[in-house]
């Protein structure tokens, strides 16, 4: 409260607050060394992203809507694996810190680029109404024959649907190779 916290302090939160307040106090003293509190007062918009993680960053402002097969079936298990691979893949790219420091993936690969590939959207959605609708459908194609060695996920940008060929995505390294290839060769594999 002494730090300017204006929210309601409930009984459950009191313990946490008591521990947090000295930390905030220290933080504030630290910031004063750089005159930041003054700047924070006058330039609130500029300073906000320094303290509050942006909603627009990274993976989580997109929702995926997988179309799963029956729970318990072998297909369903494959589909769940693929969704996990996707999560890991996006996380790995995000963790690699973007274009500058990227040993595992091609330099130009960013989460934003992947989302762009999946959706055909040049920009991230900004308006809350856009965000609400921003769902990527995930489908799975199980009926590949074994005559060929590689298949790419197909993207339908109209319906914002990505279809993953499950037969070719049994392991994370397969998933990573195929997705990286598909995204880097971009438009060639579009199926509208």
Residues that bind Zn ion (CB under 5 A): 144, 151, 165
Residues 6+ apart with CB under 8 A from 50: none
For the bound state, the minimum distance from the C-beta of residue 155 to Zn ion, rounded and expressed in Å, comes to 16
β-strands 154-156, 63-66 pairing = unpaired
What is the chain's alpha carbon radius of gyration, rounded to the nearest angstrom?
Answer: 22
Nearer CB in complex with Zn ion: 100/188: 188
3-state secondary structure of 3: coil
3-state secondary structure of 186: helix
Token pair in block for residue 104: 């595992």
Nearer CB in complex with Zn ion: 2/147: 147
Nearer CB in complex with Zn ion: 92/174: 174
For the bound state, the minimum distance from the C-beta of residue 151 to Zn ion, rounded and expressed in Å, comes to 3
For the bound state, the minimum distance from the C-beta of residue 140 to Zn ion, rounded and expressed in Å, comes to 12
């Amino acid at each position: 409260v002494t730090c300017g916290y204006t929210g309601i302090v409930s009984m459950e939160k009191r313990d946490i607050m008591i521990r947090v307040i000295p930390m905030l106090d220290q933080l504030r003293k630290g910031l004063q060394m750089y005159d930041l509190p003054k700047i924070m007062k006058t330039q609130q918009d500029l300073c906000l992203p320094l303290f509050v993680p942006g909603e627009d960053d990274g993976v989580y402002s997109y929702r995926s809507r997988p179309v799963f097969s029956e729970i318990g079936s072998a297909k369903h298990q494959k589909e769940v694996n693929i969704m996990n691979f996707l999560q890991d893949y996006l996380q790995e790219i995000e963790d690699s810190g973007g274009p500058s420091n990227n040993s595992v993936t091609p330099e130009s690969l960013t989460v934003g680029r992947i989302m762009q590939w999946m959706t055909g959207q040049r920009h991230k959605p900004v308006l809350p109404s856009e965000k609400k609708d921003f769902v990527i459908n995930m489908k799975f194609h199980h009926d590949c024959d074994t005559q060929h060695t590689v298949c790419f996920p197909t993207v339908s940008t109209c319906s914002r649907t990505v279809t993953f060929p499950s037969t070719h995505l049994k392991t994370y390294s397969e998933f990573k190779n195929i997705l990286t290839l598909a995204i880097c060769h971009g438009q060639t594999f579009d199926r509208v």
